[in-house]
Amino acid sequence: MYIGDYLGRRELYSPGKLAIIDAGKDPELRLTYGQWNQRVNRLANWLQGEAGVGYRDRVAILARDGVEHLDLFHACGKLGAIHTALNWRLHWRELVGLVEATNPRVLLYSDDFREAVVELEAGIRDSGFAIRHYVHLEGDGMPGSRMYTSTMSEASDAPVSYEQLDKEDIACLLFTGGTTGLPKGAMISHRQICWNVLNTVIHDVTHDDVYLCVFPLFHTGGLFTYLSSQVVFGNTSILTRQFVPEQVLSLIGRERVTIFAAVPTMYQMMTQASNWETADLSSLRFCTSGGAPLPVPLVEKYAKEKGVRFKQGFGMTEYGPGLFALPAGDAIRKAGSIGRPNFFVDVRVVDGENRPLGPSEVGELVLKGPSGCSGYWDNPEASAAVRDEEGWFHTGDLVYYDEERYFYVVDRKKDMFISGGENVYPAEIEAVLYKHPAVHMCAVVGLADAKWGEVGKACVVLRPGTEVSEEELIAFMQAHLARYKVPKSVTFLSELPISAAGKILKRELRDRFEHP
C-alpha cells in the first residue's frame, strides 16, 4: 500500500536508518525506521482491534509535540482513519465544539492538558456525545484513561493496511484559525500530502538531510512542511516538546542539523538566547522562514555572525503548505519577497471582480493545483465560499508581483484597516519599525476611531539595553511612510502574545486595547 502506509514502505528500504530523535523525552528517544514502524503497527492494531477504529473514523490528539503525534498520524494512514490534531491553546469549551463536530472514537492527550480533558469529557457528555477511549501519554491520567505505553505493549506489531485507500481519501483534519465561530477543519487528502512532498523536495530536501522541527504538530507547519518529505526520503528528523531557543541552538550543533524552519519571532528569540554567542550553526545548509516577512537586519545578523543562509517561504493550511520559495541568494536582493510559486502551483493576483492584475498591482492571491485541500469538514458552505466558478482558491491574502514575477505579501485582508478612506497595511509599517535599532519585535493593529474610522497602534518590544520614546518612534516612521500610514500611538510591552506556531496574535492585541 503506497498511499497511507508511508512508514511501511520506508522500513522496506532503510529499516536501520535513524528516523526520529524525540528530544522532548527524558531520556531522549531515538528510533530507526524499523523500530518506528513496528511501534506504529502496534498502535494501529490496538486502534483497530480494541477501539474499533476503521476507515474514515477520527482519532484525536491533544498533546505537546512528541513522536506520539507522528505515531498516530501514521497509524491512521494504515487504517484509512483520519488523524485529528487539536490545538492545545484553545479553551476546553472551544475543544468541546471541535469534538462534537468531528466525533472522534479515541482521544490521546499529554499530561499538560489533563484538566482540560476532564472538562472536555464532562462537556461533551452533557451534549450527548461520548469518546470511547481516552489514552494518556504520560502521568497518571484521568479516571478510566489508559496509559499509552501499556496500550502499545499489549498489541501486535503485525503489518496493518487498508488496501482500498485512495489518494482522495482524507488523511487528517487541520484546523484553521478563523476570526469568527469555530475553527474550520481543513480536510488534508493523501493526494495533497504527496504533491506537497514533491514540491518540497524539488526546492529543498536532499538525501541525508537532518531536520529540526519546532512547529506544533497540530499545525501544518509542523506536520507537513518538512516532516512528511523526510519520511519519504528516509532522513532523520528531530522533535522538541516546545520551542526553547537555548535547546534549539544546542541541538543544531550537536546533531549537525542541515535544515531548520521557524517564523521570524522565533529567529528573533534565538538571537537573545544565553548560548547564542557560542552556538555552532555551521552544519545548516539553510534556514527557512515563513509566516511573516523576515526583517533584513535579522537576515544580516545571522549571515554575519553565524554564516546562515535564509530561504523564505509562504504557505497555508489549505494549500501545500509549501506555495512559494525565495532562494537564499535572493534574501537581500529581494528582501520582503516570498519568492516565486513552487513548481506545481498555479497562482494569480485578482481584483474585486476576479480579473487578473499585472505587475505591481495589489490584489488577492488565488491558487489552483493538485496540492489543495478537499474543503472543510462537514462545512459545505465554507468549502464552496473559498473557490470560484473556475476552481481558483481565494486565500484572503493581498499581494503583488514585480517584473521578475517575485511575489510580495502586502497583508491579510483581515489585518488591513481603513483610515480616513485609505487602505493601511500593517506589514508595511512593521517592516519600517524593524529597521530601528531598538525594536526587537513589533505588531501594528487598527483600532476604532471616531474621526478617522480606524487608526493604527504600534505595539513594540525593545531590545535589551535599549531605550526609545514613543515620540522618537513616531518620528522615525514619519521619515519613511506617508502620514496616513503612521500609527497614532506606540505602546511598549515586555512581550507580544505569540501563538503555538510562533505567530503574533494580533486579535488579542486589538481586544486588549479596544476592550481594556
Q: 93-103 pLDDT, tens per residue?
A: 889 989 999 99
Residue 179 scores a pLDDT above 50: no
Query: Residue 224, exposed/middle/buried by CB under 10 A (0-12, 13-18, 19+)?
Result: buried
Residue 180: predicted pLDDT: 41
Pick the CATH number of 420-514 from 3.30.300.20, 3.30.1330.10, 3.40.640.10, 3.30.300.30: 3.30.300.30
pLDDT band at 45 (very low <50, low <70, confident <90, very high): very high
Question: In terms of Cα–Cα distance, which of 467, 504, 500, 457 is closest to 216?
Answer: 500
Task: Report whether 192 contacts 224 (CB < 8 A).
Answer: no
Residue 176: predicted pLDDT: 83
Can you tell me whether residue 455 is helix, strand or coil?
Answer: strand
pTM of the model: 0.84
CA distance 212 to 20: 10
Can you tell me whether residue 110 is helix, strand or coil?
Answer: coil
218-248 pLDDT, tens digit per residue, is: 999 999 999 999 999 999 999 999 999 999 9
CA atoms within 13 Å, Cβ hemisphere of 356: 9
Q: What is the DSSP letter of 279?
A: -
H or E segment to which residue 446 belongs:
strand 439-449
What percentage of the chain carries pLDDT values higher than 70? Answer: 97
CA distance 326 to 311: 5
C-alpha cell at 214: 519546532
CA 430 to chain centre: 21
**Domain(s) of CATH 3.40.50.980: residues in the chain:** 6-17+33-189
What percentage of the chain carries pLDDT values higher than 90? Answer: 73
Can you tell me whether residue 376 is helix, strand or coil?
Answer: strand
pLDDT band at 505 (very low <50, low <70, confident <90, very high): confident
pLDDT band at 329 (very low <50, low <70, confident <90, very high): confident
Tell me what the pLDDT averaged over the chain comes to: 92
Overall residue count recorded for the chain in this entry: 516
CA atoms within 13 Å, Cβ hemisphere of 409: 29
**Domain(s) of CATH 3.30.300.30: residues in the chain:** 420-514
- Residue 411 has a CB neighbour count (10 Å cut-off) of 21
* Dihedral sign from CA coordinates of 451, 454, 460, 466: negative
First and final C-alpha spacing in the chain: 56
**Order of strands across the sheet that contains 439-449:** 439-449, 453-462, 489-492
369-421 pLDDT, tens digit per residue, is: 999 999 999 999 999 999 999 999 999 888 999 999 999 988 666 777 878 76
Strand 106-109 to strand 439-449: parallel, antiparallel, or no bridges (unpaired)?
Answer: unpaired
Please state the CATH superfamily assignment of the domain spanning residues 243-412 in this structure: ANL, N-terminal domain (3.40.50.12780)
CA distance 307 to 369: 36
Helical packing angle, 6-13 and 33-49, nearest 10°: 150
Residue 328 scores a pLDDT above 70: yes
482-504 pLDDT, tens digit per residue, is: 788 999 999 999 999 987 667 78
Q: Which fold, 6-17+33-189?
A: Rossmann fold (3.40.50)
Provide Rg for the chain, Cα atoms. Answer: 23
C-alpha cell at 257: 542539523
Q: For the chain, what is the largest distance between any 2 Cα atoms, rounded to a whole number of angstroms? A: 70
